[in-house]
Amino acid sequence: MYDVAIVGAGPAGATFARLLSEKYSAVIIDGSEALCPKPCGGLLAPDAQKQLARFGLSLPKDVLVSPQIFCVKTIDTEAKIVRHYQRSYINMNRQKFDRWLLSLVPNRVKTVNGTAMEVSREDGIFKIKVDTPNGSDVLYAKNLVGADGAGSLVRKTFFKNISIRSYVAVQQWFKEKHDDPFYSCVFDRQSGDCCSWSVSKDDYFIFGGAYEKDGSRKRFETAKKDISDMGFVFSEAVKIEACLVNRPRSLKELCVGVDNVYLIGEAAGFISPSSLEGISFALISGEMLAQSFNSGDNPGKRYKKLTKKIYLKILGKILKCPFMYNPLLRKAVMRSGIRSIKVINK
């Protein structure tokens, strides 16, 4: 019997587990060693960098990849406009980043390499059925934390009625053949109402996007086709990966939990609907829940209060969406050249 069971050891779960006071016995369960690594652009945004700075953490060198690029080539395929916008992301290996965060969790928190298959509550005690490489196991806890990302089992089990808009993110890896690697963000109405992107990582070029679930693979191919004459080199394909990504439409879709079940990170819906940047929200909400537990009674009430800041931030991102995703507004913004930089071609 643990005081706290955490399902998911991504940035949210690992941060919560690292900061949770020693007065609680805790277990963290993650299946990613058994499943394949989580698809991600692996760009650490300034808000996430600020959060690491607040934690007093500096990123180990081996988490970084090459190249580090300082602008994003933004393309509207319909309006045929290309603009460059300055961005200060850190380009990293996402799997190594997650492993590094997990390595900072103190030994007093038990780590279980397994997948939670079922979570339930009986007489106020949570029961978690876990599949591990050595067989099935059952864990019991007084509190349950869902840090299990976009497709959260904890959220689906306990908060069925609060649904959140989600997309299928598809990413394909190619051998890198660009002479001058770049990041891109592509708005292509033919492929859907969200966006596609590309990043270069060491010897690979990754093209991906978030698409409506209906025909997501076909939409991905359409996006690729629509930019084929815009400087993208799709060479030898190495692998393709896909997963769910949440994109809240309104604050009503967010859910922090209640009655000893708590949600942090993307499981709570904490992700930017404009850029799909989610690592900073995962780090911040993990910290907020730990603070709420550590400060004593009624962590739920305190967590709800602290996360108001996140709600406000996400509201700002929701309000920003029309300027990025409404074709007319986007065209006007891109045409105006506001905040864009002029890249001098060699």
Ligand X SMILES: Cc1cc2nc3c(=O)[nH]c(=O)nc-3n(C[C@H](O)[C@H](O)[C@H](O)COP(=O)(O)OP(=O)(O)OC[C@H]3O[C@@H](n4cnc5c(N)ncnc54)[C@H](O)[C@@H]3O)c2cc1C
Query: DSSP letter string over 60-124?
Result: -GGGB-S----EEEEEETTTTEEEEEE---EEB-HHHHHHHHHHTS-TTSEEEESEEEEEEEETT
Q: Nearest approach, Cβ of 256 to ligand X (angstroms)? A: 13
Select 27 or 279, whichever has its Cβ closest to ligand X: 279
Tell me: cis bond preceding 37? Omega within 30 of 0 counts: no
Select 81 or 315, whichever has its Cβ closest to ligand X: 315
Give the interface with ligand X as residue ranges (CB under 6 A): 7-13, 29-32, 35, 38-43, 45, 48, 115-116, 147-149, 153, 169, 171, 208, 243, 245, 265-267, 271, 276-279, 282
Q: Nearest approach, Cβ of 283 to ligand X (angstroms)? A: 8
Select 57 or 79, whichever has its Cβ closest to ligand X: 57
* Backbone region of residue 16 per phi and psi (left: phi > 0; alpha: psi in -120 to 50; beta: other values): alpha
Q: Nearest approach, Cβ of 28 to ligand X (angstroms)? A: 9
**Using CA atoms, how far apart are residues 209 and 245, in angstroms rounded to an integer?**
10
Select 79 or 321, whichever has its Cβ closest to ligand X: 321
Task: Judge whether 271 and 254 are in contact, CB under 8 Å.
Answer: no
Q: Nearest approach, Cβ of 153 to ligand X (angstroms)? A: 4
**Using CA atoms, how far apart are residues 293 and 24, in angstroms rounded to an integer?**
9
Q: Nearest approach, Cβ of 214 to ligand X (angstroms)? A: 18
Q: Nearest approach, Cβ of 199 to ligand X (angstroms)? A: 7
Closest-by-Cβ residue to ligand X is 278
Coil, strand or helix: which one is 156?
helix
Select 55 or 81, whichever has its Cβ closest to ligand X: 55
**Using CA atoms, how far apart are residues 258 and 325, in angstroms rounded to an integer?**
33
**Residue 341 CB: number of other CB atoms within 10 A?**
12
Task: Judge whether 257 and 263 are in contact, CB under 8 Å.
Answer: yes
Select 46 or 337, whichever has its Cβ closest to ligand X: 46
Select 6 or 333, whichever has its Cβ closest to ligand X: 6
Q: Nearest approach, Cβ of 171 to ligand X (angstroms)? A: 5
